[in-house]
Amino acid sequence: MLEELGTNDQGDMIINVGPQHPSTHGVLHLVITLHGETVKKVEPHLGYIHRSIEKMSESLSYRQFSYVTSRMDYLSSHINNHACALAVEKGLQLEIPGRAQYIRVILDELTRIASHQLWWGALAMDLGAFTPFFYSFREREMINEVMEETCGARLTMNYIVPGGVMFDLHPDFQKKVKIFLAEFKSKIHEYNELVTGNIIFQNRTKGVGYISKENAISYGMTGPSGRGSGFKCDVRKLHPYELYDQLKFEEITEEGGDAFARYMVRIREMEQSMNIIEQLIDNIPEGDFQAKTKAVLKLPKGDFYSRVETARGELGVYIVSEGGTTPYRIKYRSPGFSNLSALNDLAVGGKLGDLMATMGTLDLVIPDIDR
Amino acid sequence: MFSLEKLVSIIQAWLQSTLRDPWAYVVVCVMVGVAAIALFAILGLMLVYMERKVAAHMQIRLGPNRVGPMGLFQTTADTLKLVMKEGLTPDGADKFLFNLAPFMVMIAAMLILAPIAFAKNFQIWDISIGVLYVAAVSSVAVIGILMAGWSSNNKYSLLGAMRSAAQIVSYELSAGLSILAIVILSGSLKISDIINSQADGWWIIKGHIPVIIAFIVFIIAVTAETNRAPFDLAEAESELTAGFHTEYSGMKFALFFLAEYINIFIGCAIGATIFLGGWMPFHIGNWEAFNHVMDFIPSSLWFIGKTVFLIFLIMWFRWTFPRLRVDQLLNLEWKYLLPISMVNLLVVTLMAIMGWHL
Amino acid sequence: MFLKEYFKTVYQTISSLLTGMRLTGYYFTHTKEIITQQYPETKPVLADRFRGEVIMPHNETNEHRCTGCTACELACPNGTIKIVTKNEINAEGKKKKAIDTFVYRLELCTMCNLCVQACPSDAIIMSNAFEHSVYDRRLLTKVLNKPGSKIMEGVE
């Protein structure tokens, strides 16, 4: 009876945040228990946009299944495709041409920048500032145009395929990426002026949504969210794939463990990604963009696992093959799911407004959690 | 030269010559009522349009530009849409209070209009306790907001209403204190007296730093009292979807929306009257020629110009800053604004006693 | 000491807020920075590779290159393409497989480009068209081969 009225026996208010709610970035359903303004419990309810991607992939061939992963974490669709391609290539023991590797890494990093830009605008919007959203989209649009020219799509690319990439680079690619880098470098100070340095923003995020390194590890928080607690979990450093072992870049960690630390990790990561792209953009080797593959791919019997660092954390793709043309079972280890599991720990004790700051800095993409 | 004062006296003279005394008053009352409602509608439309344009240009967008020249009729079209929409009342709502609340908010906004001097001798009611009246009536709006929040039978609305109550009640203090600084300097509560005391210079200029501080505190307090970002906790979109008016639709929602803009206008009009001299033109000491040119601009334009400037300032805040958290909001008031304005009031009193402001 | 801290906080607060306001104020006054594209008047310039929908190019004599091999149908992950074939008798009197209808269901298509990649005779390509809205969803089921069209000479 009390549950029906939306209160529990201690007189706390139980509120549904979502599935339709402006700050859940999609359709996350949280049931929160509020004592006045203070959050006492956060309970995520999943399943609202479950599309059964893992099961669906069992009936798709090895060429087909990766296009669906663009629709998991739609903000880093390149990196998702990359993870699938890596797993299949592991099974086929394919050697990827150098040019394809360069293209893949550059596009991964561009995707990471674009994702962090959108996150920056969306976080500011969660905290009530609307204008940053438009500034971040202005720069993100430049990346989208580069993607559109080379990959033929703006969001769900399906450009990285087993064996390489689908097409060769567009002739303007290098020029446009350089223009973007120069432009973004001259604009990134605006990000700091408008949001990072703003006293209201700092008060809203500093000390909010704290999680210790031990807890972050035990919840399996990866990506910028884990690194904000000082957990060195960058797959690009720990298990380098493609060219990452040859590149010079810094793994960004912050010790704060609060929302502001996670924010700073992402802001600094954008600079690191630009650094990576600068190392590669002038040295793209000539050659094939795709390894020779058979028309129908058949993986040998066994299981194959690949892991990549998406904009949100570690994405694992686990394929079990029975030797046929379709996988026997596919399992995705998505970063958003593990990061969301820590939300209760992060938000309890804070105010309702802190919950939004916490969710914003976890950078949740709901289709990634629900799949 | 165009002057609202002449227009009023012509109409009054004509009415008194054609109608007998009680009827002339009735006609005047009706005319004032119609004029006030018309002003509300026009103000609402223009301010919403202005807000959208200001927001758009700050956000490197164009803003409304399709309906009418430069999108001028966009807000009219939106209003038409709202009028035609169904006004839903939720099932578990307290129907009487739910339907009353938007009118409460609107009536509170309309009442404050009375003592505002729009131009020289163009004022509905020059009450002798004008400033006190404004301060008192402006807190009535919170009742309407609380009513809306409580009667909606929605937890988001309730949270928004409670936030709004805490916010308006506390910011009322510093708004009052900063107005009091000028009351001390000018020695009167009457709006027309306050304006006349600024004939030789606006208070913000001749009041030195203490008045500037009072002005800043007042602007912050007005932003908070009108529930505008960065203090828009009552309707905090990303937290409470729409706060106290979550359940409202159609014309009832439009009334809340309109009341918000009317409140901004009134807050800024009070600020312009008290700190920036109302309709008083800008004069510099002995520059006769310059002062004469300034006098040539109609007093109503001076008033509107100053008010629009303050409104723009508040819009600028909204489209730049993130929102405060509820405890930080109250911290800001009780730990910073209130002590500052109290000390400031002391300084102003000292200034008035010593006659430094002259 | 306490007072110094207090005023320092006040100063930092105001200066950080003014920095933000200067930025938005800059964009407010510099209207040339506006990036709005007024869509129906100025059409967006799309990249050549932009994947909008699958089309089957026909030449001026109403001939296409599709042999009806159904490679695209097999490559499609969503069942977007359905090819109905028929047997045609060619000039030499031999029976030959040809397409009757090439059904393409735009509402199911995810523009993944796998069908175009799979096609051995380059019969289908991706076009730039992106304005797909219709009032009736039946209009989204398209037949790509034009009526009366034939296969091009020399395409096997």
For residue range A241-289, what is the model confidence (pLDDT) as tens digits?
A: 888 888 888 888 888 888 889 898 988 888 888 888 888 888 888 888 8
Query: Could you give phi then psi for residue C51, rounded to 5 degrees?
Result: -95, 105
Sign of the CA dihedral with B234 first, then B239, B244, and B249 last: positive
Pairing of strands C95-105, B122-123: unpaired
Which of B78-82, B213-217, B273-277, C89-93 has the lowest average pLDDT? C89-93
The residue of chain B with its CA nearest to that of A25 is: B238
pLDDT tens by residue, A205-235: 888 888 888 888 998 888 888 888 888 888 8
By residue count, chain C amounts to 156
A200 three-state secondary structure: helix
Rounded average pLDDT over A21-46: 84
Using the CB atoms, write b or e for B84-95: b if 16+ within 10 Å. eeebebbeebbe
Written as one letter, the residue type at A188 is I
pLDDT tens-digit map of B93-138: 888 888 888 888 888 888 888 888 777 777 777 788 888 888 888 8
Indicate whether C95 pLDDT > 60. yes
Closest-CA distance, A260 to chain B, in angstroms, reads: 14
Q: What percent of chain A has pLDDT over 70?
A: 98
* Cross-chain residue pair C35–A64, CB shorter than 8 Å: no
CA–CA distance, A306 with A318 (Å, rounded to integer): 7
DSSP letters, chain C, are -HHHHHHHHHHHHHHHHHHHHHHHHHHHH-GGG-----TTTS-----TT---EEE----TTSEE------HHHHH-SS--EEEEEEEEE-TTS-EEEEEEEEEEEGGG-----HHHHH-TT---EEE-------SSGGGGEEE-SPTT-EEPTT--
Predicted local confidence at residue B306, as pLDDT: 87
Architecture of domain A51-370: Orthogonal Bundle (1.10)
Cβ–Cβ gap B62/C38 under 8 Å? yes
Per-residue pLDDT band for B328 (boundaries 50, 70, 90) equals: confident
| pLDDT tens profile B151-163 | 888 888 888 888 8
Quick one: closest CA in C to A134, which residue? C35
Residue with tokens 């596009």: A107
- Is B57–C36 a contact, with Cβ atoms under 8 angstroms apart? no
Amino acid at C132: H
Q: What pLDDT, on a 0 to 100 scale, did the predictor assign at position C135?
A: 92
How many CA atoms lie within 13 Å of B157's alpha carbon, on the beta-carbon side?
20
CA distance A32 to A347: 10
Q: Which residues contact B176 (CB under 8 A, 6 or more apart)?
A: B135
Which residues are bridge partners to C54 per DSSP?
A: C126
Alpha-helical regions (H) of B85-154: 95-112, 130-138, 141-151
Mean pLDDT of chain A: 86
Q: Specify the 3-state DSSP secondary structure of B297.
A: coil
Report which of B261, B269, B16 is spatially closest to residue B122, judged by C-alpha positions: B269
CB-nearest partner of A149 from C22, C49, C110 = C49
* Contact assignment for A199 to C17 by CB distance below 8 Å: yes
A48-88 pLDDT, tens digit each? 888 888 888 888 888 888 888 888 888 888 889 889 888 88
Which residues on chain A are in Cβ contact (under 8 Å) with B237?
22, 128
pLDDT over threshold 50, residue A2: no
What's residue B351's pLDDT?
A: 83
Region of residue C111 (left: phi > 0; alpha: psi -120 to 50; beta: else): left
CA dihedral (A22, A23, A27, A32) positive or negative: negative
Tokens of C106: 């735009």
Q: Which of B61, B316, B340 sits opposite C24 (nearest CB)?
A: B316
Give Dmax over CA atoms of chain B in angstroms.
68
Mean pLDDT, residues A158-171 = 85
Dump pLDDT digits (tens) for B330-342. Answer: 888 888 888 888 8
Name, in order, each residue with C-beta under 8 angstroms of C144's C-beta and a sequence gap of 6 or more.
C54, C55, C56, C102, C103, C104, C124
Please compute the mean of the pLDDT values over residues A149-165 and round it to a whole number. Answer: 86
Q: How far is CA A87 from CA A76, A91, A301, A319, C112, in A?
A: 17, 7, 13, 7, 19
Taking the Cβ of residue C40 and every Cβ of chain B, the question of whether any pair is shorter than 8 Å is answered with no
Of A67, A138, A166, Cβ closest to residue C77: A67
CB A160 within 8 A of CB A107: yes
Contact (CB<8Å) A149/C47: yes
Please report the pLDDT score of residue A248 as a whole number: 86
**CB within 8 Å: C35 and B61:** yes
Measured between CB atoms, which of B229, B233, B239 is closest to A23? B239
Arithmetic mean of pLDDT, B36-40: 83
Residue B125, min C-alpha distance to chain C (Å): 38
CB atoms < 10 A from the CB of A104, how many?
A: 25
**Residue in the block written with tokens 């009317």:** B262
Interface contact flag, B323 A194, Cβ < 8 Å: no
Locate B22 and state its tokens.
């009680």
Of A141, A151, A193, the CB nearest to C19: A193
Share above pLDDT 90 across residues of chain A, in percent, rounded to a whole number: 0
Mean pLDDT, chain B, rounded, equals 83
**pLDDT surpasses 70 at A5:** no
End-to-end Cα spacing for chain B: 32
Shortest CA gap B337–chain C (Å): 10
Closest Cα in chain C, distance from residue A193 (Å) = 6
The pLDDT value given to residue A1:
39
For residue C151, the distance in angstroms to the closest alpha carbon of chain B comes to 48
By the CB < 8 Å criterion, does C18 face chain B? Answer: no
What do you get for the CA distance between the two ends of chain C, in Å?
90
Neighbours of A213 (CB within 10 A): 17
Q: Name beta bridge partners: C83.
A: C102
C64 — phi, psi (to 5°)?
Answer: -120, 180
pLDDT of A4: 54
Task: Please tell me which of A28-32, B25-29, B116-120 the model is most confident about, judged by mean pLDDT.
Answer: A28-32
- pLDDT of amino acid B238: 73
* Assigned token pair, B277: 């001299």
CA distance A222 to A241: 17
| Digit-coded pLDDT (tens) for A128-155 | 888 888 888 888 888 888 888 888 888 8
**Torsional sign, CA B143, B145, B151, B157:** negative
In sequence order, the β-bridge partners of residue B23 are none
Are B70 and B162 within 8 A, CB to CB? Answer: no
List, for residues B167-183, the tens digit of each pLDDT value: 888 888 888 888 888 88
Residues comprising chain A, all counted: 371
* Average pLDDT score over residue span C47-68: 84
Chains touching chain B through at least 3 C-beta pairs below 8 angstroms are A, C
| C25 to chain B, closest Cα gap in Å | 7
CA-CA distance, B246 to C32, in Å (whole number)?
Answer: 37
Tell me the domain boundaries of chain A: 51-370
pLDDT band at B72 (very low <50, low <70, confident <90, very high): confident
Of B62, B65, B336, the CB nearest to C10: B336
B contact test, residue of A4, A37, A136, A351 with most B CBs within 10 A? A37
Contact C36 B60 (CB under 8 A): yes
Give A171-190 pLDDT, tens digit per residue.
Answer: 888 888 888 888 888 888 88
